[in-house]
Structure 1
Amino acid sequence: MAGQARTARNLLIYWMDGVAALLALAFVGMVLTVAVAGKISVPQALAAGGCLLGVCGLFPFLLREAFDTRPAPSVRLMAAGLLSAGAVALLPPVSAGTGDGMWAMVTFLWLSAAVLYLRAWAAVCTGAVVVVLTTAAVVPITRQPWQPVLLLQALTAVVMAGGVWLWRWLWWTIRDAYDGKEAKASLAVAEERLRFARDLHDLLGHSLSVISLKSELAAKLATRAGAEGNAAREMADVRRLAAEALAEVQLAVDGYRTLDLEEELHGVRAALEAAGARCEIDAATAGLSPAARALLAWAVREGATNVLKHSAATRCSITIRDGALEMRNDGVHVVGDPGDGSGLRGLAERMAAAGGTFAAGPDPAGEFVLKAVVRA
Structure 2
Amino acid sequence: MNLTPGRWSRLSEPAKYRAYTRATLLGVVTMVGVLAAANLREHAGVLAVMLTATVSALMAFEARPELTGRDQPRLDTWLTGVATVGFIGSWLAGLVAVRSSTGDAVAFARGGAWFVVVLAAAALLPFMARRWEALAAIALITAIVSGAPDDRLVNVLPPALVAVFCCGTTRASLWALRIVDDLDEARRTQAELEVAEERLRFARDLHDVVGRGFSTIAVKSELASRLVRAGASDRAATEMDEVKALAVSSMEEMRSLVRGYRGIDLTGEVAGARSLLAAAGCDLIVTGRPEDVPERLHEAAAWVVREGTTNIVRHSSATTATLDLGSSGMKLTNNGVTAPVGTQSGLRGLSERLAAVGGVVTTGSADGAFTLDVHWETT
TM-score bin, normalised by smaller chain: 0.5 to 0.7
Partner of 1:84: 91
Shift of 1:234: 6.9
Indicate how the Cα distance of structure 1 residues 232 and 143 shifts in structure 2: closer, same or farther if over 3 A, else same: closer
Specify whether residues 217 and 126 from structure 1 end up closer, same or farther in structure 2 by C-alpha distance, changes over 3 A only.
Answer: closer
In the other structure, the counterpart of 2:134 is 126
Instruction: Check whether the contact 1:24–1:53 (CA below 8 A) recurs between aligned residues.
Output: yes
Letter in 1 for 2:85: M
Q: How many Å apart are 1:237 and its aligned residue?
A: 5.4
Whole-Å separation in 1 of the counterparts to 2:196 and 2:165: 46
Q: How far does the alpha carbon of each residue in 1:35-62 deviate from its partner, in whole angstroms, 9 at most, with x for none?
A: 1xxxx5xxxx1x4323322221121221
d(CA) in 2 for partners of 1:85, 1:125: 19
Equivalence for 2:158 = 152
Matched ranges for 1:1-376 at <5 A: 3-32=12-41, 35=42, 40=43, 45=44, 47-68=45-66, 74-91=81-98, 93-95=102-104, 101-103=110-112, 104-119=114-129, 122-139=130-147, 142-146=149-153, 148-212=154-218, 224=234, 235-236=244-245, 238-251=247-260
Give 3-state SS (helix, strand or coil) of 1:116's partner: helix
TM-aligned CA deviation for residue 27 of structure 1: 1.5
For the residues of structure 2 that align with 1:68 and 1:215, how far apart are their CA atoms? 63
Q: Report if aligned partners of 2:95, 2:142 keep a CA contact under 8 Å in 1.
A: yes
Q: CA deviation at 1:26?
A: 1.7
Q: In structure 2, how many angstroms separate the alpha carbons of the residues matched to 1:87 and 1:193?
A: 66
Write the letter of the residue equivalent to 2:22: I
Task: Give the whole-Å Cα distance in 2 for the aligned partners of 1:194 and 1:74.
Answer: 52
Number of residues of Structure 1 aligned to a counterpart in Structure 2: 239
CA contact under 8 A between 1:218 and 1:234: conserved in structure 2? no
Which of the pair has more CA radius of gyration?
Answer: 1
| TM-superposition CA deviations, 1:211-261 (whole Å, max 9, x none) | 556778899899649x89x987874554233111221244466799xxxxx
Structure 2: runs of 5 or more not aligned: 1-9, 68-72, 266-379
CA gap of 1:185–1:28, structure 2 versus 1, over 3 A, is same
Q: Distance in 2 between matches of 1:84 and 1:144?
A: 21
* TM-score, normalization by structure 1: 0.52
Query: 1:114 and 1:251, CA in 2 relative to 1: closer, same or farther beyond 3 A?
Result: same
1:121-167 deviations in whole A, cap 9, x for unaligned?
x2122111221233235436x32411x22322321121111111212
Question: Cα gap change, 1:88/1:171 in structure 2, threshold over 3 Å: closer, same or farther?
Answer: farther
Counterparts in 2 of 1:77 and 1:193: CA distance versus 1, 3 Å: farther
- CA distance 1:198–1:233, shift in 2 (3 Å): closer
* CA positional deviation for 1:28: 0.3
Shift of 1:98: 8.1
Root mean square deviation of aligned Cα: 4.0
User: 8 Å contact 1:30–1:99 — kept in the other structure?
Assistant: no
Q: Return the offset for 1:18.
A: 0.4
**C-alpha spacing 1:60/1:213, structure 2 compared with 1 (3 Å):** same
Rounded Cα–Cα distance in structure 1 between residues aligned with 2:260 and 2:85:
65
| Conserved? CA contact 1:31–1:49, under 8 Å | yes
Question: Distance between the aligned counterparts of 1:68 and 1:127, measured in 2?
Answer: 22
Most deviating of 74-83 and 20-29: 74-83
Partner Cα distance (2:187, 2:175) in 1:
18
Contact 1:51–1:84 (CA under 8 A) maintained in structure 2: yes
CA contact (8 A) 1:207 1:242 kept: no
Distance between the aligned counterparts of 1:243 and 1:24, measured in 2?
A: 78
Relative contact order, higher structure (CA 8 A, sep 6+) = 2
Aligned 8 A contact 1:81 1:107 in 2: no
Q: 1:244 to 1:6 in 2, by over 3 A?
A: same
Name stretches of at least 5 consecutive residues in structure 1 with no aligned partner: 257-376
Aligned-partner Cα distance in 1 for 2:196–2:142: 57
The CA deviation at 1:11 is: 0.9
Please give the alpha-carbon distance, in whole angstroms, between the structure 2 residues aligned to 1:100 and 1:74.
25
Distance 1:163 1:231 in 2: 79
Label 1:79 to 1:106 Cα distance change in 2 as closer, same or farther (>3 A). closer
Shift of 1:109: 0.5
Q: Which amino acid aligns with 2:121?
A: L
CA contact (8 A) 1:62 1:113 kept: yes
Provide the C-alpha distance between the structure 2 equivalents of 1:166 and 1:156, rounded to a whole number of angstroms: 15
CA contact (8 A) 1:62 1:76 kept: yes
What is aligned with 1:358? none
Q: Work out the CA distance in 2 between the residues paired with 1:7 and 1:200.
A: 43
